[in-house]
């Protein structure tokens, strides 16, 4: 089945850029909300959920702006997942844009998963 690209936007509190960047770009930050644990060797991140591991390659990052990964199972495809931070100038709040890919039948479930994880991020960091 072919995966479809989708994007979700989350609005976060003002002044939370350093906390948010740390949460999406460091192994410790990611292990607080994204997975149960994260190890990094070179540009390979291994995420642990319960007793299951999944590895992703860090494709690109720009400090305080975005981070993009590709699951190892998606190597040699155009599929990735990205978390991008943008400032909302009118309100001073931050927006976190999540871009991901999923099969049509799994898009809603994947969006619900992201919503749940972002709620954990908000609770853990206060943003």
Q: What is the rounded CA–CA span in Å between residue 92 and residue 104?
A: 35
Task: Give the per-residue pLDDT at 89.
Answer: 86
Task: Give the per-residue pLDDT at 71.
Answer: 97
Whether residue 111 has pLDDT greater than 90:
yes
Phi and psi of 97, rounded to 5°?
-100, 125
Q: How many CA atoms lie within 13 A of 86 on its CB side?
A: 12
Top CATH class, 3-125: alpha beta
Sorted by sequence, the CB contacts under 8 Å of residue 51 that are 6+ apart come out as none
> Could you tell me the pLDDT band of residue 92, with boundaries at 50, 70 and 90?
confident
Per-residue pLDDT tens digits for 26-50:
999 999 999 999 999 999 999 999 9
Break the chain into its structural domains and give their ranges. 3-125
């Amino acid at each position: 089945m072919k995966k479809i690209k989708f994007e979700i936007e989350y609005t976060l509190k003002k002044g939370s850029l350093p906390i948010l960047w740390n949460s999406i770009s460091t192994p410790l930050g990611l292990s607080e909300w994204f997975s149960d644990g994260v190890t990094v060797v070179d540009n390979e991140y291994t995420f642990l959920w319960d007793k299951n591991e999944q590895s992703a390659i860090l494709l690109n990052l720009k400090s305080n702006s975005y981070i993009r990964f590709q699951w190892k199972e998606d190597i040699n495809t155009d599929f990735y997942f990205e978390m991008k931070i943008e400032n909302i100038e009118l309100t001073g709040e931050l927006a976190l844009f999540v871009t991901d890919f999923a099969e049509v039948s799994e898009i809603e479930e994947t969006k619900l998963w992201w919503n749940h994880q972002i709620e954990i991020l908000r609770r853990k960091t206060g943003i």
